Amino acid sequence: MDAFWQVAYDALVVVLLVLVATGAVPVVTAAIHFLVVPLHAFINHYGKAEPFTPNVAVLVPAWNEGAVVGTTIDRLLELDYPAEALRVYVIDDASTDDTPDVVRAKAAEHAGQVFLLQRQQGGQGKAHTLNHGVRVVLGEDWAEAVLIMDADVIFTHSSLRRMTQHLADPQVGAVSGYIAEGSRDPNYMTRFIAIEYVLAQLASRRAQNVLGAHACLAGGAQLHSRANLEAIGGAIPTGTLAEDTVATFESQLHGRRMVFEPHAVVLAEEPGTIDALWKQRLRWARGNVQVSSMYRKVWFRWGRGVHHLGNIAFGASWFSIFLLPFAMILSSIGLVGLLLLESDLAQLVFRALWITAALTYIFSMVLGVQLDGRVGRLSWREAFLFPGAISFVVMVAALFPGLIEVQLPALFGMKLLPEGYFWLTLGIYVWISAAMAGAALARMIENTKAGRFLSPLLIYLVGYGPLLCAITVDSYLKEWRKADTVWIKTEKTGRVLG
């Protein structure tokens, strides 16, 4: 009997170690991804790029964008790009504000360069709105490239020219710019988003350039060659909440290369509240759930076709983000289980997991603030507390064993009892997944009188990363329930740097 229970105990320990290792996979994957970024200095597309100014039709889908669309048009016409090679088409999705009037005034002012296209039936989604414009543009011979953007973004002066240089290579189907957070009046939330965009775009998309597979062209700054749009059916794919991701996948499946141009900077006004961010990212996250299912025959099938979407590195990166909440929860279960079994491995694997996370965090943040100095100066606090103040303390506990539970209490002449040490350890192990609940709580109380102060404090404590994971969990639930899918747009005020 003793031998049986020993075997059962050993088997349970192995299972719990596997659960902890599940939590380590996203961390290790992220570390490898960020280590690839410096290779972009040597492995990139610039050797095949050259000055190139094709006729570009700019498609601007707009629904109630009267506050921003006029400025957007003005800035497009001021770009460092030949005026005769640039046309702006605003596709009005049955707006109920003054969007059509603003665009008509601009069309009258810039005859032959600005056009208003109107849909009588709106609310079908961004892809349907875009396709109304795509059909018009591809129905004529003029356009050689199509720039798809959002109505509220501001392209910096040289951004379009920097993007079109890559289309000189006929193998390139589309080019994406760097969407940078550009709110004129930033707050804690927009500063967190600024750091996120540095990591998710300037860093990660450089790595995707190196690996040869792209997850998604930036929805607000994607430049397609005419040939690429025609190859994927002459329309932006509909039927999902991630039309930009599906277009990116389809372009690569049809044998064309995607390129991220980090120096094509596009400024955008991002959500300034937890609730606004939640609504925006919920659509994105649900779209990723749909894409994961749609392309199930592509994942981890290296060598199938001319694309690189099936390579292991790309698949691991995609699912590390897509399944990150599960990994966090399973890791907590594994650590708590080892603690309850009084296994000596609990502390060992805990330290291994969090030391890896700490080193990855430090390297990624140092890299990120170097890639965009403006964001580094503006959002240094958010970079420091991106994983949350409590997680930062947990990292310190892992890096310096004894500091939190022994040396710190000793400074006050105190000593943790065994029971206190157990509960402290349990809290640290559970924190990996409990942080998501803290982020959801911050959203729940945000609109209360106390929440105006407590919600930002909670996000600084639990971290911006756990907030994104909480949104991903909500996307699982919404997709499982088949909740209604609508084009949820963030309210804009037009206060973008420029």
**440-471 pLDDT, tens per residue?**
999 999 999 999 899 999 999 999 999 999 99
- The confidence band for 328, taking pLDDT boundaries of 50, 70 and 90, is very high
Q: Taking the CB of residue 135, how many other CB atoms lie within 10 A of it?
A: 12
Q: Which distant-in-sequence residues (6+ apart) come within 8 Å of 168 by Cβ?
A: 48, 49, 50, 51, 52
Give the count of domains, the chain: 2
Residues 379 and 249 in one domain: no
Q: What is the pTM of this model?
A: 0.90
Q: Please name the residue ranges forming H helices in 165-306.
A: 188-197, 204-211, 226-231, 243-253, 274-294
Whole-number pLDDT of residue 492? 53
Residues 191 and 262 in one domain: yes
For the residues 424-452, what does the mean pLDDT come to?
92
Q: Which of 309, 340, 360 is the last residue of a domain?
A: 309
**One-letter identity of residue 353:** L
Residues 244 and 356 in one domain: no
Question: What region does 487 belong to: left with phi over 0, alpha with psi -120 to 50, or beta?
Answer: beta
Q: Which of 309, 331, 356 is the last residue of a domain?
A: 309
Residues 189 and 67 in one domain: yes
User: Does residue 48 lie within any of the structural domains?
Assistant: yes
Whole-number pLDDT of residue 303? 63
What is the H or E stretch that residue 336 is in? helix 324-340
Of residues 294 and 410, which shows the higher confidence score? 294
Share of the chain above pLDDT 90, in %: 59
Residues 328 and 465 in one domain: yes
Does pLDDT of 497 surpass 70? no
* Residue corresponding to tokens 């990855």: 360
Least confident span in 148-157, 178-187, 346-355, 481-490: 481-490
Does pLDDT of 494 surpass 70? no
User: Does residue 217 lie within any of the structural domains?
Assistant: yes
Q: Which distant-in-sequence residues (6+ apart) come within 8 Å of 252 by Cβ?
A: 173, 213, 214, 258, 307, 308, 309
Does pLDDT of 484 surpass 80? no
Q: Which range marks the domain in which residue 471 is found? A: 318-481
- Note whether 239 and 298 are within 8 A (CB): no
Residues 170 and 285 in one domain: yes
Residues 121 and 247 in one domain: yes
Residues 52 and 121 in one domain: yes
Least confident span in 49-53, 366-370, 416-420: 416-420
User: Does residue 5 lie within any of the structural domains?
Assistant: no
Whole-number pLDDT of residue 486? 54
Residues 394 and 270 in one domain: no
Does pLDDT of 306 surpass 70? no
User: Does residue 23 lie within any of the structural domains?
Assistant: no
User: Does residue 27 lie within any of the structural domains?
Assistant: no
The span from the CA of 446 to the CA of 441, in Å, is: 8
User: Does residue 2 lie within any of the structural domains?
Assistant: no
Residues 291 and 181 in one domain: yes
Q: Which of 264, 280, 309 is the last residue of a domain?
A: 309
Residues 194 and 263 in one domain: yes
Whole-number pLDDT of residue 240? 81
User: Does residue 12 lie within any of the structural domains?
Assistant: no
Q: Highest mean pLDDT range out of 45-49, 300-304, 377-381, 418-422?
A: 45-49
What does the angle CA 198 – CA 202 – CA 206 come to, to the nearest 5 degrees? 150
**One-letter identity of residue 213:** A
Whole-number pLDDT of residue 485? 57
Residues 325 and 302 in one domain: no
Q: Residue 250 sits in a domain of what CATH number?
A: 3.90.550.10
Mean pLDDT (the chain, rounded): 89
Whole-number pLDDT of residue 5? 75
- The confidence band for 424, taking pLDDT boundaries of 50, 70 and 90, is confident
Whole-number pLDDT of residue 495? 59
Bridge-based pairing of strands 221-225 and 145-149 is antiparallel
Whole-number pLDDT of residue 496? 61
For the residues 191-219, what does the mean pLDDT come to?
93
Whole-number pLDDT of residue 437? 94
Q: What is the pLDDT of residues 90-111, one digit of tens each?
A: 998 888 888 889 999 999 999 9
Q: What is the pLDDT of residues 339-362, one digit of tens each?
A: 998 888 888 999 999 999 999 999
Of residues 489 and 42, which shows the higher confidence score? 42
Residues composing the chain: 498
Whole-number pLDDT of residue 152? 84
User: Does residue 107 lie within any of the structural domains?
Assistant: yes
